Structure 1
């Protein structure tokens, strides 16, 4: 049985690579760990956290998923455009998981800032997903 956060990560990566708007912005460069050297702009799956919240007859919880958009174009527009496209693709999306059951996935917040190198714009996009685990 797949862990909810790992299963969700795989489906999110596949969805973003297949999304025409996202692909037009990052050319399918969606990574868990980016290659070195990396071509900008690109997108990475970041930290996840699973908080169990079982009920009497239901196993499940919340998956907090953090993702990152990276750009070295001048200013913030490219990083913000990638973040917006990702949000449009995933917020309240009807995503099906193979093992677990996704109740909902919602965008929580996006932060955009300049990295310490002074060149790279960085968007941090956060989602929360409610997942039920199958009972055995």
Structure 2
């Protein structure tokens, strides 16, 4: 397991188990898949980056950044904003990485951007998550 996969798994688990998110996006549409067009509505767990914190010779502390893409077919951005808001609320508590060999010291929604898709029919939000992950054991 890598810190990125541990975080991605914890993110999806939290989102599908949070009633406010699940009421807006079905669990089957919260996924890591490259599909065009994305299911409507959907949360696609996407791009990421890991940066070694450089604070110890053990190199066991990594800051992981992960983007989640919200897609909703609608003429406005209201639905995408509602989904992104539910994600922000769901992620207010630190993520649990139990059983992965990693510990999440801190996690948060770093930013949310709202966009209109060029097709004129779809709204899109990018939810950027940041987590400080420590390898244990």
What TM-score comes out, normalization by structure 1 length? 0.89
Write the distance in 2 (CA, Å) between the matches of 1:127 and 1:18. 18
- Worse-matched range after superposition: 49-58 or 107-116: 49-58
Cα separation, partners in 2 of 1:54 and 1:134, compared to 1, 3 Å: farther
Instruction: Detail structure 1 runs of 4+ shifted over 6 Å in the superposition.
Output: none
Q: Residues 5-24 of structure 1 correspond to what in structure 2 (within 5 A)?
A: 5-24=4-23
What stretches of structure 1 of length at least 5 have no aligned partner?
none
CA contact 2:41–2:72 (8 Å) conserved in 1: yes
Structure 1 residue 9, shift from structure 2 partner: 0.2
CA contact 2:38–2:71 (8 Å) conserved in 1: no
The root-mean-square deviation of aligned C-alpha atoms, in Å, is 1.8
SS at match of 1:25: coil
What TM-score comes out, normalization by structure 2 length? 0.88
Q: Deviations over 1:67-109 (max 9, x none)?
A: 0100012211100000010111013x13221210100101111
Write the distance in 2 (CA, Å) between the matches of 1:37 and 1:71. 11
Give the paired residue count.
133
The reply to whether residue 81 of structure 1 matches residue 103 of structure 2 is no
Q: Report the counterpart of residue 104 of structure 1 in structure 2.
A: 106
What stretches of structure 2 of length at least 5 have no aligned partner?
none
